[in-house]
Structure 1
Amino acid sequence: MADDRLEEITRRFRHFVAEQGWSICDEKAIAHGYQCTVIDGQARVPVALYATGKTLVQGKASALQTALKAWDQPRQMQNTLLSAAEPSPLTVTRTAIPQATGVARIGSDESGKGDFYGPLVIAAVFVDEHNEPQLLRLGVRDSKKLTDKNISALAREIQTLCQHKILTYAPVSYNQLYQRLPNLNRLLAQAHARVITELSKNVPARLAIVDQFGDESLVRLELQKAASPLRLEQRYRAENDTAVAAASILARAKFVRDLAALSDEIGVQLPKGASNPQIVTIGRQIVVRHGKDALSAIAKLHFKTATTILQTVPEDEA
């Protein structure tokens, strides 16, 4: 009963976030609850939801934090009870370890959307009854549960076993694209649809599975534009599916490699994530040494962090 209640609270919360045009990352299960980070392109706010109905909103003061704190959980739950007969558009998988299904399908996932430095990478992987057992024996699972070393080794195996497609937006390309389309969820939807469509031309898949990151209609609309015949499933915790887990590993491996390459080019180790205090310190050093334009080659400029860095570097030093 508690699990069902938490799932419904989470579903309502994700729908609320999607309606605002925000995005969710860093999702994980916690004791008696669900935790994630909500991002609006500028701020990042950690949120925890509990089966009791309690919502814990953390992080620094911002407009996003205020809006999330104002989320009316009691009213949302009342609406849930009143509309209990409505079919849920969300498929929830409880198991943390992928299980074989034998269904030929494409899974896609992304890496880097919540990282200030480095690219955005989207990967799609085709899985069927022949390669899925091998992937499970290798220990393929959500990349967030693996070390970078394990991810690198598994990525090589996945690329050998599975047909796949990887799309990378290096920071320069990402920033140009975001200027034209300043909505992260729409940008992600286009990217997922692109890798899924391109891969589907070469594999006998009728189903595509994507982790639900925003309004469900976004990816569906992009696939329709591409005249894709695939049936689309957008799931909460889709990484519990083997195909999506494999895609998450390929995307993360490429992100880690590219971040390392950018670090070598700029001459300093660029940290992952968006909350590490070193992110701003290193950014200032880079701007002082190489100028403001250097930041656009290594970072996502719509993050509030970029403004913080640029505003704190004197003009005569930039």
Structure 2
Amino acid sequence: MAHAVLKVNQSTIQQMKNTYQSAILPSTPPHAHFAAKVSGCTITAYQSGKVVFQGNEAEKEASRWGNPGSNDKKTKTKTTKSLPTFLKESHMGSDEAGTGDYFGPITVACVYATSEQQELLRELGVRDSKTLTDDTIRSVMKDVLLTDITYSSVVLDNPRYNQLKAKGWSQVKMKAWMHHHAIKNVREKLGEQSFEGTVVDQFCEPATFHKAVRETGEQSFDDLTFMTKAESYSTPVAAASMLARYRFLQEIDRISEKVGFSIQKGASNIVDRQIARLIKQKGEGTLNEIAKTHFANTQKAKKLL
């Protein structure tokens, strides 16, 4: 689907709204003034002043209001020589969530987005998940999952996590295995569609990552780019970060419903007290189904009992 983006002032947005009055859609996306649909094009005007045109006639319709490329300098961020050149082009990114939480699984997500889709994702509120509240992530991701991006999420549930840990798997090996499969899934969905690169939010040295994947019996992709704080530079990685967190939160909700009270995220002393409560009410065996039992919190909770 063709895209075009304009940056206009509020006066122009009002003019556009008047012009498209008869074509305005009944529902308005988050952070938008209005959305309208005309022949061959859907127009969404956001509160930030950006207007996104989507459809076969996107360029033509956008040209009525300005030059779709006139705001490129404003939207591009400064990069350094060490950053990949494809970060604003079509690429995929992967990130994970849940690794430091006692309760709940590890979740990994991979997102592919074109440059035009990245613009839309940013307008919808996609950014580094660490800067957002869980409620915001839930809200934004519900809208993001309605777009035409290509993505995959992988969940390593607690019984399987504890089983792999008992076999000697480190978290690094688990995460490498999960990232590999999330990336593999997206590449299979894309088929012959080309992309400029793949960014992995770096959690270990590249050589360690590739070795861990090979140890699982898979052939690691040799064209990956590893970056620390990648979600700050890559919109697909930021989207993957939010998607992984969103899936993790869904699992936490499921666990909370299962145990009958709101499960605490993280690994604090509040978690220790919740573990002790669960052991007392349901028995220690239930922890294997909902927690990463090798964490020190398990022993701390037992001391509380």
Q: What TM-score, normalized by structure 2, do the two folds share?
A: 0.66
Summarize the Cα distance change of 1:197–1:252 in structure 2 as closer, same or farther, 3 Å threshold: same
- Look up the match of 2:114: 128
Quick check: 1:150 aligned with 2:156?
A: no
- Which of the numbers 152, 167, 182 marks the counterpart of 1:165? 152
1:209 corresponds to: 199
- Describe the SS at the equivalent of 1:301: coil
Counterpart CA distance in 2 for 1:286 and 1:115 is: 16
* Structure 1 residues 206 and 185, CA gap change in structure 2 (3 angstroms): same
Residue in 2 that maps onto 1:295? 287
Alignment of 1:1-318 (within 5 A): 91=82, 101-161=87-147, 162-203=149-190, 204-221=194-211, 226-227=218-219, 231-240=223-232, 241-275=234-268, 277-313=269-305
- CA gap 1:208/1:101 in 2 versus in 1, 3 angstroms: closer
Matched residues in 2 for 1:271 and 1:91: separation?
39
User: Contact 1:106–1:209 (CA<8 Å) still a contact in 2?
Assistant: yes
Q: Secondary structure at the match of 2:152?
A: strand
Matched residues in 1 for 2:206 and 2:100: separation? 20
- Any stretches of 5+ residues in structure 2 without a counterpart? 1-80
Deviation at 1:211, TM superposition (A): 1.2
TM-score relative to the length of structure 1: 0.63
SS in 1 for 2:96: strand
The 1:273/1:92 distance shift into structure 2, 3 A limit, reads farther
Gaps of at least 5 residues in structure 1 are 1-89, 94-98, 314-318
- Give the C-alpha shift of residue 215 in structure 1: 2.2
Q: What's the CA shift string for 1:263-298, capped at 9, x where partnerless?
A: 1110121111112x2111111011011001011112
Give the Cα–Cα distance (whole angstroms) in 1 for the partners of residues 112 and 197 of structure 2.
10
The one-letter code matched in structure 2 to 1:178 is K
Q: CA RMSD in A?
A: 2.4
Q: 1:284 to 1:191 in 2, by over 3 A?
A: same
1:103 is displaced (CA, Å) by: 1.9
Which stretch of structure 1 is more off in the superposition, 245-254 or 299-308? 299-308
CA shift digits 1:94-141 (9 cap, x unpaired): xxxxx9944221111111001111111111101112311101111210
TM-fit CA distance, 1:192: 0.7
Q: Identity of counterpart residues, as a percentage?
A: 28
Secondary structure, in 3 states, of the residue corresponding to 2:200? strand
Corresponding letter in the other structure for 1:264 = E
Counterpart amino acid of residue 206 in structure 2: E
Cα distance in structure 2, aligned partners of 1:205 and 1:306: 44
Residue-by-residue CA offset, 1:36-63 (whole Å, 9 max, x unaligned): xxxxxxxxxxxxxxxxxxxxxxxxxxxx
Q: Aligned partner of 1:238: which letter?
A: A
- Asked if the contact 1:181–1:187 (Cα under 8 Å) also holds between the matched residues in 2, the reply is no
CA distance in 2, matches of 1:238, 1:188: 16
- 2:20 alignment partner in structure 1: none
Instruction: Tell me, yes or no, if the aligned pair for 1:197 and 1:226 is still in contact at 8 Å.
Output: no
SS in 2 for 1:181: coil
- Contact 2:98 2:248 (8 Å CA) reproduced: yes
Deviations 1:141-172 (A, max 9, x none): 01111111210122122222211101111211
CA-to-aligned-CA distance 1:61-104 (integer Å, 9 cap, x gap) = xxxxxxxxxxxxxxxxxxxxxxxxxxxxx9569xxxxx994422
Q: Secondary structure at the match of 2:280?
A: helix
Tell me: CA distance 1:229–1:290, structure 2 relative to 1, closer, same or farther (3 Å): closer
Measure, in 1, the Cα distance between the counterparts of 2:98 and 2:253.
Answer: 13
Structure (1 or 2) with the larger CA radius of gyration:
2
